């Protein structure tokens, strides 16, 4: 960073801040206003030359002040970042002119450099503070909240995304097994962030981790050793499970790893809101499949037991739509039985309803698409994009109030087959093709040539 330019930038910056601050901070008390000016000044100093020598100390002070900001001040801080810590516009304009006159790789590079906002360097230097990486992830978490009302802060978010994509590159992440000998400060985060099947306390956590037929894996970043970024919980079973109750039952007899033929990924959870959009998990499952295959060579099936969170809503709407996908399946409206509270206790009703329910779920998963042409169901989107295939639909698999309410008790197994993961992924991403078992294909009424592409709508490639 050349001093002259930087000096000018700094002078400009401090000038513009002092003007803006009067406006922005009009209603704050004088003391608070000074606080806000202070954090911006520290930031300006941090990206100046002095920052090089005293970076750690400055970065630590900035984070200390940041944590004390209230909501309004926080928005002030982000606004300053968006407006004042952008690129050097003089340099940028010069580069734009050069590009218009004679485009070349070298000029493109200068253009890229000139367009880089000072924010990025600022964030890189804040990262010098102990715990800086985690603090910046938390800062973005706050920004994501503020962004809803303040879309003008989007450029700040773009810089976080740019940096985090580099910093959390999968080449830097460590896959670690989590078990009952893991540190408590890591384990409490498993309790806190488990998003699929709640863990109520440490005793329940122990049941998820300690038995011989349970596994848990997480990605970690070297700079955040106490914070699992994403984790998956696995049950080793004999046979592919068809219901969640037995799977998590405390009273089951735990298997030894070499007695199991199936690994069930029954829960996968992100922990860091501040890393939204940074792809971490895509292939966590793929890597865990490799790890488990090495450890327990007897494993034959790698499957999930997954919810269908949007199924009940879709079914309700679809049933009432003239010419719906459901008409053919349920012309006599037997699925109306599902409206009652107790249908799943009544054996006769269950027998009547089961085949329809399974068929409807297959149609939902295979043919119900959102406007972008992707499956309507978010869990299906996640696993299909990861290269899994739809394996089996299980009625009466989750009869908890939640399970009945959202999916009439239905759950689905997705299969991760080491040999087709990449092909499935590519076919899905490039042409929207959904990989299915023959049984599902039959249920959904699509044939092989269709490749599970529904006939009504024209697919658009999936982003």
Q: Residue 170 or 457: which CB sits closer to a second copy?
A: 170
Q: Does 102 bind a second copy (CB under 8 A)?
A: no
Choose, from 197, 221, 344, 383, the residue flagged as catalytic.
383
Among 18, 169, 249, 370, binds a second copy (CB under 8 A): 169
In this chain, which of 117, 228, 281, 310 binds a second copy, going by CB under 8 A? 117
Task: Pick the stretch among 65-73, 103-111, 325-333, 374-382 that binds a second copy (CB under 8 A).
Answer: 103-111
Query: Which of 168, 147, 158, 4 is CA-nearest to residue 79?
Result: 147
Q: CB-based burial of residue 432 (10 Å sphere; 0-12 exposed, 13-18 middle, 19+ buried)?
A: buried
- Return the beta strands (E) in 406-463 as ranges: 411-415
- For a second copy (CB under 8 A), the number of binding residues is 82
* Distance in Å, CB of 289 to a second copy, minimum: 13
At which residue do the structure tokens 């202070």 appear?
38
Strands 214-220 and 174-177: antiparallel
Terminal Cα distance for the chain, rounded: 38
CB of 425 to a second copy, least distance (A): 4
- Interface residues for a second copy in 42-81 (CB under 8 A)? 49-50, 52-55
151 Cβ neighbours under 8 A, 6+ residues apart:
none
Neighbours of 293 (CB within 10 A): 15
Which residues in the 278-337 window bind a second copy by CB under 8 A?
A: 279, 282-283, 286
**Which residue in 145, 40, 30 sits closest to 82, CA to CA?**
40
Alpha-carbon distances, residue 156 vs 122, 307, 369 (angstroms): 11, 35, 33
Residue closer to a second copy, measured from CB, 174 or 336: 174
138 binds a second copy, rule: CB under 8 A = no
Compare residues 359 and 369 and give the one whose CB is closer to a second copy: 369
Which CB sits closer to a second copy, 197 or 425? 425
405 tagged catalytic: no
Cα–Cα nearest to 299, from 212, 238, 390, 234: 238
**Nearer residue to a second copy within complex by CB, 131 or 445:** 131
CB of 453 to a second copy, least distance (A): 16
408 binds a second copy (CB under 8 A): no
> Does residue 94 interact with a second copy by CB under 8 A?
no
Handedness of CA 74, 77, 78, 79 (dihedral sign): positive
Exactly one of 306, 367, 389, 454 is catalytic; name it: 306
Footprint on residues 194-213 left by a second copy (CB under 8 A): 201-202, 206, 209-210
Minimum distance from CB of 48 to a second copy (Å)?
A: 9
The kind and range of the H/E element at 220 are strand 214-220
Helix (H, G, I), strand (E, B) or coil at 340: coil
In terms of C-beta density within 10 A (0-12 exposed, 13-18 middle, 19 or more buried), how is residue 51 classed? buried
Binding test (CB under 8 A) with a second copy, winner from 26, 29, 171, 401 = 171
Nearer to a second copy, 206 or 381 (CB): 206
To a second copy, the closest distance from the beta carbon of 28 in angstroms equals 23
Which residue's CB is nearer to a second copy, number 108 or number 145? Answer: 108
Q: Which residues of 71-82 are buried (b: 16+ CB within 10 A; e: fewer)?
A: eebbbbbbbbbb
Q: Which of 22, 90, 112, 442 binds a second copy (CB under 8 A)?
A: 112
Q: Dihedral sign for Cα 220, 191, 294, 392, please.
A: negative
- Residues 144-163 binding a second copy (CB under 8 A) are 152, 154-155, 158-159, 162-163
> Where in 221-260 is the site for a second copy (CB under 8 A)?
222-223, 226
Residue closer to a second copy by CB (options 119, 359) is: 119
When asked if residue 354 is in the footprint of a second copy (CB under 8 A), the reply is no
Query: What secondary structure letter does DSSP report for 376?
Result: S
- Dihedral sign of CA atoms 360, 362, 363, 369 in order: positive
**Of the candidates 313, 327, 426, 447, which one interacts with a second copy according to CB under 8 A?**
426
**Minimum distance between the CB of residue 33 and a second copy, rounded to whole angstroms?**
23
* Shortest Cβ 117–a second copy spacing (Å): 7
Nearest-angstrom CA–CA distance, 18 and 7:
17
Per the document, the length of the chain is 463
Supply the minimum distance, in Å, between the C-beta of residue 272 and a second copy. Answer: 17
> β-strand 174-177 against 306-307: which pairing, if any?
unpaired
Distance, CA of 458 to CA of 140 (rounded, Å): 37
**Closer residue to a second copy (CB): 167 or 396:** 167
Question: Strand pairing partners for 394?
Answer: 411
Q: Return the closest-CA partner of residue 438 out of 389, 404, 396, 403.
A: 389
Stretch that binds a second copy, among 31-39, 65-73, 126-134, 308-316 (CB under 8 A): 126-134
Asked if 306 is an active-site residue, the reply is: yes
Any idea which residues carry the catalytic annotation?
Answer: 306, 383
């Amino acid at each position: 960073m050349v001093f002259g330019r930087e000096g000018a930038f700094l002078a400009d910056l401090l000038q513009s801040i002092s003007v803006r601050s009067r406006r922005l901070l009009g209603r704050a008390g004088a003391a608070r206003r000074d606080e806000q000016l202070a954090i911006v000044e520290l930031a300006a100093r941090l990206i100046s030359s002095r920052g090089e020598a005293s970076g750690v100390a400055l970065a630590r002070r900035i984070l200390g002040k940041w944590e004390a900001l209230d909501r309004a001040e926080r928005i002030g801080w982000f606004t300053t970042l968006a407006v004042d810590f952008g690129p050097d516009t003089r340099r940028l304009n010069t580069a734009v002119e050069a590009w218009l006159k004679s485009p070349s790789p070298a000029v493109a590079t200068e253009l890229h450099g000139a367009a880089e906002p000072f924010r990025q360097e600022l964030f890189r230097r804040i990262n010098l503070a102990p715990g800086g990486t985690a603090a910046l992830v938390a800062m973005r978490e706050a920004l994501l909240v503020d962004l809803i009302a303040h879309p003008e802060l989007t450029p700040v978010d773009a810089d976080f995304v740019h940096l985090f994509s580099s910093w959390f590159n999968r080449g830097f992440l460590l896959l670690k097994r989590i078990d009952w000998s893991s540190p408590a400060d890591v384990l409490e985060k498993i309790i806190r962030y488990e998003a699929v099947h709640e863990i109520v306390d440490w005793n329940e956590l122990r049941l998820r981790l300690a038995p011989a037929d349970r596994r848990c894996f997480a990605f970690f970043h070297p700079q955040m050793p106490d914070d699992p970024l994403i984790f998956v919980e696995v049950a080793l079973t004999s046979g592919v499970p068809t219901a969640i109750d037995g799977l998590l039952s405390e009273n089951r007899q735990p298997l030894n790893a070499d007695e199991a033929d199936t690994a069930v990924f029954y829960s996968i959870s992100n922990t860091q809101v501040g890393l939204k959009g940074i792809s971490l998990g895509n292939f966590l499952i793929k890597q865990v499949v490799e790890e488990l295959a090495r450890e327990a060579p007897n494993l034959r099936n790698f499957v999930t037991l997954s919810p269908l969170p949007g199924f009940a809503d879709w079914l309700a709407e679809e049933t009432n739509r003239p010419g719906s996908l459901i008409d053919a399946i349920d012309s006599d409206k037997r699925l109306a039985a599902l409206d009652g509270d107790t249908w799943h206790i009544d054996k006769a009703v269950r027998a009547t309803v089961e085949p329809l329910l399974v068929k409807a779920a297959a149609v939902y998963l295979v043919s119900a698409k959102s406007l972008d042409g992707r499956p309507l169901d978010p869990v299906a989107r996640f696993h299909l994009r990861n290269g899994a295939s739809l394996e089996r639909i299980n009625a009466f698999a989750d009869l908890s109030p939640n399970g009945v309410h959202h999916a009439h008790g239905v759950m689905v197994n997705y299969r991760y087959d080491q040999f087709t993961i990449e092909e499935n992924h590519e076919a899905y991403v490039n042409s929207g093709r959904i990989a299915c078992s023959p049984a599902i294909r039959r249920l959904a009424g699509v044939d092989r040539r269709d490749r599970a592409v529904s006939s009504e709508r024209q697919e658009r490639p999936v982003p």
